[in-house]
Amino acid sequence: MANPDDRSDNAAKLQDAKQNTIENLEESEHYLDEHSEELNPQEAQTLAKKNEGRRNAISSFENEIADESESNSNE
């Protein structure tokens, strides 16, 4: 028999993932601020693109957290 779909902690898990992504973004931005002169342009561009992806992911996490919270409040 399949396990029931327990989504009660999805919002908390998404919040943890969002927080980890924010920390990674902040660390990367700090690294770029401190070491941009030492990086070759391609490395700096790669980090900047990763940070753009992180910003998009944070926005997506926020939307998913809102959806999960709303879903849990309707149960």
28-72 per-position pLDDT tens digit: 999 999 998 999 999 999 999 999 999 999 999 999 999 988 877
Say if residues 71 and 7 touch (Cβ distance below 8 Å).
yes
In this prediction, residue 56 carries a pLDDT of 98
- Residue 21, pLDDT above cutoff 70: yes
| Angle (CA) 24 30 31, round 5° | 90
How far is 70 from 32, CA to CA, in rounded Å?
37
Instruction: Kindly report the pTM of this predicted structure.
Output: 0.83
- Residue 1, pLDDT above cutoff 70: no
In this structure, what is the dihedral angle of CA atoms 55, 57, 58, 60, given to the nearest 10 degrees?
Answer: 130
Residue 19's SS3 state is: helix
